[in-house]
Amino acid sequence: MRIVFRVEGDPNIGLGHVMRCLALAQSLISSGHTAVFLMSKSSQSFCQNRFDWVGDILPLITNEAQDEASWVQLQCIELKADWLVLDGYQFTQGYRQALVTHHYRLAIFDDINNSGNLYADVVINGVSNGGALNYEATAPHAQLAVGKGYQVLRQEFLQLSDRSWSRRRGLTLMFGGSDPHNLTLSVLEALAKYHVAIPITVITGAAYRNLNELSKFIASCDLPVTHYHDCHTMADVLANSCLALSAAGGSQFELLACATPAILLVVADNQKRASEEAKKQGWCQVLNHQEQTSEQLVKHCLALWGDADALFSMHQHALKQAVIDGAEAIGELMSKITSSTESNL
């Protein structure tokens, strides 16, 4: 199969959409398929610097005489695509409808099913309770790749061999690819007030805008901090962490795969459902960003850090959850639909 992805990632929208498309592309390419990404130049710079990037990238080119959806459809036809995969909240009902054609199939990554008719042949949502979102109404003819069996992880998390507790040291802070609220700096400043001696690993994403300010603070404070910007070895870092204070979203599936206890901070409405389900599994706690100051977050984090039994119990609960290659399952479903279509021609 030839699969085209239409997705963006930048400081405004973060990198989560790009990362889960990358995870699916890695799986598809490892199975012998091909992947092409259509994205703006601003998004390309974040992607091309990754050593684990796969798939060709074509720059988004539109003009006043041709709307974006028409251009995307034309590219898919010229590339002889079997599938177009959309991931992003900017793709409206009208945009999706304009992409409908017999030339290829349409797959949609979705989180909360609140944007009208999806016009999809496949709907992808890896949240375990995603089946309650009434996709039968917005995608009545679609195959549903919905539930925890369809959680997508990049290959580095699927290939992780050592998740043991004995190897772990320190606290990890990570607040997404762009960290739009600059929680990284404010949480570090709050930690500095306590003069903690805990080894701290700070991870900032490629779209993080406050790198210079953060670097100056780390250099001037007395905290034992190791900082990774645009980290390409996330699985190894997380598997060496006793606790992570993290933005919710796609990162929570990575934390679970590494069996890393976490405090998940909900910073967007679309993260609530998945986070609450993760909390029920016993390996994480969930807080709402709007209800917590950075100092309150740090107090909560330090209280949990001081409870070694609770941390180990959370780790054990995480180990009981299977690490699922949802991308492979999605690829198999897409291949099945493609083969069925070809046999009916």
CATH number at residue 110: 3.40.50.11190
Confidence check: pLDDT of 2 > 90: yes
Average pLDDT, the chain: 92
Residue 201: partners with Cβ closer than 8 Å, 6 or more residues away: 170, 171, 172, 173, 225, 226, 227, 228, 237, 241
If asked whether residues 139 and 168 sit together in one domain, one would say no
If asked whether residues 87 and 147 sit together in one domain, one would say yes
If asked whether residues 148 and 222 sit together in one domain, one would say no
If asked whether residues 146 and 196 sit together in one domain, one would say no
Given this model, what pLDDT does residue 270 score?
73
Residue-wise pLDDT for 93-123, tens only, equals 999 999 999 999 999 999 989 999 999 999 9
Query: Alpha-carbon torsion 245, 250, 252, 253, what sign?
Result: negative
Tell me the C-alpha distance between 202 and 189, whole Å. Answer: 13
Confidence check: pLDDT of 290 > 60: yes
If asked whether residues 182 and 266 sit together in one domain, one would say yes
What does the pLDDT average to over 7-29? Answer: 92
pLDDT band (50, 70, 90) for residue 309? very high
If asked whether residues 163 and 302 sit together in one domain, one would say yes
If one counts the domains in the chain, the total is: 2
If asked whether residues 146 and 202 sit together in one domain, one would say no
Domain of residue 276, CATH code: 3.40.50.2000
For the entire predicted model, the pTM comes to: 0.91
If asked whether residues 90 and 211 sit together in one domain, one would say no
If asked whether residues 293 and 161 sit together in one domain, one would say yes
If asked whether residues 170 and 293 sit together in one domain, one would say yes
Confidence check: pLDDT of 65 > 60: no
Confidence check: pLDDT of 8 > 70: yes
If asked whether residues 190 and 146 sit together in one domain, one would say no
Q: Which domain holds residue 252?
A: 157-319
If asked whether residues 145 and 240 sit together in one domain, one would say no
Given this model, what pLDDT does residue 91 score?
94
Confidence check: pLDDT of 344 > 60: no
Given this model, what pLDDT does residue 316 score?
97
Residue-wise pLDDT for 37-51, tens only, equals 999 988 888 888 888
Residue-wise pLDDT for 259-288, tens only, equals 999 999 998 777 887 888 899 999 999 998
